[in-house]
Homo-oligomer: A and B are copies of this chain.
Amino acid sequence: MTTLTTEPHVTQTFPIKDTIWCAGCGHFSVLNALDGSFGRLGIDGKDALVVAGIGCSGTIQNHVPAYGYHALHGRALPSAAGAKMANPELTVIAAGGDGDGLAIGGGHLMHTFRNNPSIAYIIMNNSTYGLTKGQASPTSQGGFRGFAAREQVDPVMLGLSIPATTFLARSYSGDGDQLEQLTDAAIRHANAGRGFAFLEVISPCVAYNDRYHEWPAHLVDVARTPGYDPRDRAGVFTQLLSWDEEGRVPTGLLFLNEDAPLADAAGPAQQDVDPASNREAYRKVLASFQA
């Protein structure tokens, strides 16, 4: 796959070279795209927090020039949402595997769609548990069979089923250009306060589920599908179902809702905690106990 291009220029405090990944792992492409997005979008890494889950995928934060947090398995989303609520001025990016995000973390995904915090979330879907050596994940069919009905849970379909969803995209580790574009689009969506930007990346595990050679024939890029309207929720659902029956897996910006009201952008919560400057306000609170 791609190799790392980043230099340890932003902080001297951690090396960003040595990944734990197997040569050829799909996760390299995701890293490359994410890493580059800081430059492309002009985001200063000091103002960004990358929150990852646990898994091979869950080490991506070690290699991105930003603040990094290695969350618990399955808890990347609530951790990231908490950080964003507390400081809406930060760029907050969550990332992790399909086991992390859809098995143990599946409940949080549904609630994050519904709460719609303005964070970008990249799920690196290899349809297996890489780090624990190849067990089935919620996106694997028994024995990693097929492409048709490829997924036991399709997070994009799930997202469509939740009214508050605003952004659903899918890309592929083998398509660096699309991946870069969609990574940027997701972060832009979130940083514009438009809500939760969900990006699934098909990111093959070469050790336990190597399907690089099979994927290209099955992918269909919605950007090249005439008449595809990502704003039509019912239409998207219908189209995705029918592609699924044909064994085709759509990529691109699959769904977008720009009509949703912007999320509040209150300032960072931690401001102004000095007791002296708050004393009068605290007295008001105290008085409420005298009523």
Interface residues of A (CB under 8 A from B): 103-108, 110-111, 114, 138, 149, 151-154, 157-158, 160-164, 233-234, 237-238, 241-242, 244
Contacts and interface: CB of A to CB of B under 8 A. Distances in A.
A160 B111 CA distance: 17
Q: How many copies does the complex hold?
A: 2
A161 B158 contact: yes
- Considering the complex of A and B, which 4 residue pairs feature the smallest CB-CB distances, nearest first? A107-B107, A161-B161, A234-B238, A157-B161
A138 B114 CA distance: 8
Contact of A114 (B153, B160, B162, B163): B153
Contacts of A103: 111
A85 B161 CA distance: 29
A46 to B, nearest CB: 34
A110 B153 contact: yes
A114 B233 CA distance: 22
A131 to B, nearest CB: 20
B111 A108 contact: no
Contact of A237 (B162, B237, B244): B237
Contacts of A151: 163
A244 B164 CA distance: 13
16 contacts: A106-B107, A106-B110, A107-B110, A110-B110, A110-B153, A110-B158, A114-B153, A149-B163, A154-B161, A154-B162, A154-B163, A157-B162, A158-B158, A158-B161, A161-B237, A234-B242
A158 B162 contact: yes
A152 B115 CA distance: 9
Given A111-B106, A234-B237, A163 B152 contact: yes
A242 B238 CA distance: 14
Contacts of A107: 104-108, 110
A115 to B, nearest CB: 8
Nearest to A114: B152
A258 to B, nearest CB: 17
